[in-house]
Structure 1
Amino acid sequence: MAEASISWTEDQFRCSVCLDLLKDPVTIPCGHTYCMICITDVWNQDQKGIYSCPQCRQTFSPRPVLSKNVMFAEMVEKLKKTRRQAAPAVHRAGSGDVQCGSCTGIKLKAVKSCLECRISYCQTHLEQHENLFRDQKHNLLDATGRLQELICPRHDKMLEIYCRTDQQCICILCLMDKHKNHDIVSTAAARTEKQRHFEEMQRKFQKLIQQKEKDLQKLRKAVDSHKRSAQTAVEDSERIFTELIRSIEKHHSEVKQLIRDQERAAVSRAEEQLERLKKEIDDLKRKDAELKQLSETQDHVYFLKSLSSVSLSGSTDSLKVSAHLSFDDVVKSVSQLRDKLQQFCTDDIQKISTRVKTVQVILTPEYETREVILPYSHPQMFFDEERSFNSGWQYEMGVNDYDFEHTVPPPFSPL
């Protein structure tokens, strides 16, 4: 009931020329009220100097002086405020909606567009439009924001004809000049003709979409498989390099132990010799002391007897010490081993890097030739000359026959 009351009240304050709420309302002598600008435009178009009411057709002479109806203006402002409060949010034009061209203030969502009036209407203004043009058949279509595209830019007329010769929509005036004697049909007939091609194109698009979706799923599976294989390769590489490091550390420990064992053996032999030499020196010193004491005796018989019992004991040969006291040659050999390992690793890392780069989901330019790919390709990966190498690096693995879901990529293995 409240909405009906508001609608009825608004109708009393609508201009019958613009169909919207009165703007600067003026009441002419017959009692009807219009927007000041609307009635002014109507009377300005009258060339005969006879000024009439658009509704009741009562004429006035001379031209009435227009004055703003203050009471009507206040009522209209109140109605606008009431309409803003009463308008449901669902009917308001949102982002992307076509707005009603007759609404002032808050724009409501348009439901229809009129090709003759070239304006879109909300439900309320559409009803007023239909009442006003009840005797005329205006062409209405679902609300569109592309009304201007339906108008000929040259003649400002509706595009109602399709020129088959020039493959474009034209208006009736275009037919008289630029498209004279051309093969033409109505836009509706052209739509029917084109609809068959359109439906065929739609089928092709649907087929292409299905193929692309299938390719998308296969590619996703390929990516997942690629990720799993990469993770396995990383884990295997880490394990292998850890084993390699442990092997080097083991050999390092063995070399250290070898050096220490040699050191202990050599030092042990040298210490034995040191003890023997010290003992021999002590014996020699003792005998030297005895000889000195004997040389000082005055007893000739004792001297002669004692001298015959004194003998030179111990080896008189000089001790030979080895000239190879340094482990420099060992250090040199270890350094050479290091250099060889580094060079070996550098060379093989390059080979590994090349092999890593060949593991592709989508083929890249540097691996587009058969000669480069085949040494590293999976046994079940195939290449089609027409599609793979001539169409820009297509990776046929999985696009047609390759089963990504049930095929496990070859495990990564270092050289």
Structure 2
Amino acid sequence: MAQGGVVLDKDQFNCSICLDVLKHPVTIPCGHSYCSDCIQNYWDQDDFLGIFVCPQCRQSFSPRPVLARNTMLADVVEKFKKTGLYDAPVPTENRCLAEADDVECDVCTGRKNRAVKSCLVCLASYCDVHLQPHYDSAAFKKHKLVSASKGLQETICPQHDKLLEVYCRTDRRCICYLCLTDEHKGHDTVLAEAEIQNMLVTTHYPSHSI
């Protein structure tokens, strides 16, 4: 759509959670906008933590922000809906529904697609469609994707709600960076990935005397 020299694209009005055109758009304190139901449902999953993050930039908020309708954005979306771009068909040929033993996409509503990747930063699993923003948006550039996993919570420190990226050799367990300044201060620690690689090398090439 081009009006007054401004070119608008359908993706500009998409919610990054449901990937559809915004419905009842709300804007959270960091400036990103979502469908009211989408962000409410997304935050409902973290209600027990008391910390609520933006799905795009990962800025955290506590207490839970009170959401108000973004009237200006809602008006723009309504005008956009009257254009031909809004009615463009959405491809469904690659839809792959999750079976009993599959990891389900955390973003899909209704019958869920099979997740192909899990994000260790978002602590969520995504199907091919909902994973796309992680590849397209600079906001997700530093997020770490792994094969779809059901045990994402096991990679998070229960005390600090941070990723377990450090291995404490003194206590022989994985910890987060905040643990280093607390009960593990002064301990023998390495990056968890480095310790895993070291264990793999030791397993395959054990040391021996000649």
TM tier, smaller:
0.5 to 0.7
Matched residue count:
161
Cα contact 1:112–1:120 (8 A) shared by 2: yes
Cα gap change, 1:167 to 1:143, in 2 (>3 Å): same
**TM-score, normalised relative to structure 1:** 0.32
Q: In the aligned structure 2, how far is the partner of 1:95 from the partner of 1:145? A: 13
Q: d(CA) in 1 for partners of 2:202 and 2:20?
A: 48
Whether the 8 Å CA contact 2:14–2:21 is kept in 1: the answer is: yes
Match for residue 95 of structure 1 among 96, 100, 104: 100
With over 3 angstroms needed to count, the CA separation of the structure-2 counterparts of 1:138 and 1:196, relative to structure 1, is: same
Distance 1:140 1:96 in 2: 20
Distance 1:144 1:186 in 2: 21
Matched, 1:14 2:14: yes
The amino acid of 1:116's aligned partner reads V
- 1:35 maps to 35
The aligned runs of 1:219-368 (5 Å cut-off) are: none
Structure 2 residue corresponding to 1:131, chosen from 124, 129, 136: 136
Secondary structure of 1:141's aligned partner: strand
Q: Do 1:112 and 1:121's aligned partners in 2 also have CA atoms closer than 8 Å?
A: yes
Superposition deviation, residue 173 in structure 1:
0.6
Looking at secondary structure, tell me which structure has more helix per residue.
Answer: 1
Q: Which amino acid aligns with 1:15?
A: C
Structure 1's unaligned 5+ residue stretches are: 1-8, 46-59, 73-77, 202-415
Distance verdict in 2 for CA 1:129–1:10, change over 3 Å: farther
- 8 A Cα contact 1:19 1:128, kept in partner: no
Measured in 2, the distance between the counterparts of 1:99 and 1:12 equals 27
Per-residue CA deviations over 1:146-166 (Å, capped at 9, x if unaligned) read 111111010000000000010
- Give the 3 Å change call, closer, same or farther, for CA 14–183 of structure 1 in structure 2: same
8 Å contact kept, 1:111–1:121: yes
Deviation at 1:115, TM superposition (A): 1.2
Q: 1:36 is matched by which residue type in structure 2?
A: S
Distance 1:94 1:79 in 2: 30
Amino acid at match of 2:150: G
Q: Structure 2 vs 1, CA of residues 152 and 117 (structure 1 numbering), >3 Å: closer, same or farther?
A: same
- Residues 14 and 190 (structure 1), Cα distance of their counterparts in 2 relative to 1, 3 Å cut: same
Distance 1:106 1:79 in 2: 23
SS in 1 for 2:153: helix
Tell me if the contact between 1:111 and 1:120 (Cα under 8 Å) persists in the aligned partners. Answer: yes
The answer to whether the Cα contact below 8 Å between 2:167 and 2:173 also exists between their aligned partners in 1 is: yes
Paired position in structure 2 for 1:178: 183
Choose the corresponding residue for 1:110, options 97, 110, 115: 115
Amino acid at match of 1:21: D
Contact residue 98 and residue 114 of structure 2 kept, 8 A:
yes
Q: Among 161, 165, 168, which residue is 1:160 paired with?
A: 165
Query: Structure 1 residues 79, 113: closer, same or farther in 2, change over 3 A?
Result: farther
The verdict on how the C-alpha distance between 1:159 and 1:27 changes in structure 2, with shifts beyond 3 A counting, is closer
Report whether the alignment pairs 1:146 with 2:151.
yes
Q: CA deviation at 1:36?
A: 2.9
Query: Which of 19, 24, 47 is 1:26 aligned to?
Result: 24
CA distance in 1, matches of 2:149, 2:39: 30
Aligned counterparts of 1:145 and 1:39: Cα–Cα separation in 2:
22
Higher relative contact order (CA 8 A, sep 6+): 2
The percent of aligned pairs where both chains have the same amino acid is 40
3-state SS of the aligned residue for 2:106? coil
Question: What letter matches 1:14 in structure 2?
Answer: N
If you compute each CA radius of gyration, which structure gives the higher value, 1 or 2?
A: 1
- Alpha-carbon separation, structure 1, partners of 2:104 and 2:39: 26
SS at match of 1:181: coil
SS of the aligned residue for 1:162 comes to strand
Which one has the bigger strand percentage?
A: 2
Partner AA of 2:36 in structure 1: M
> Which deviates further from its counterpart, 154-163 or 126-135?
126-135
CA distance in 2: counterparts of 1:14 and 1:191, whole angstroms: 40
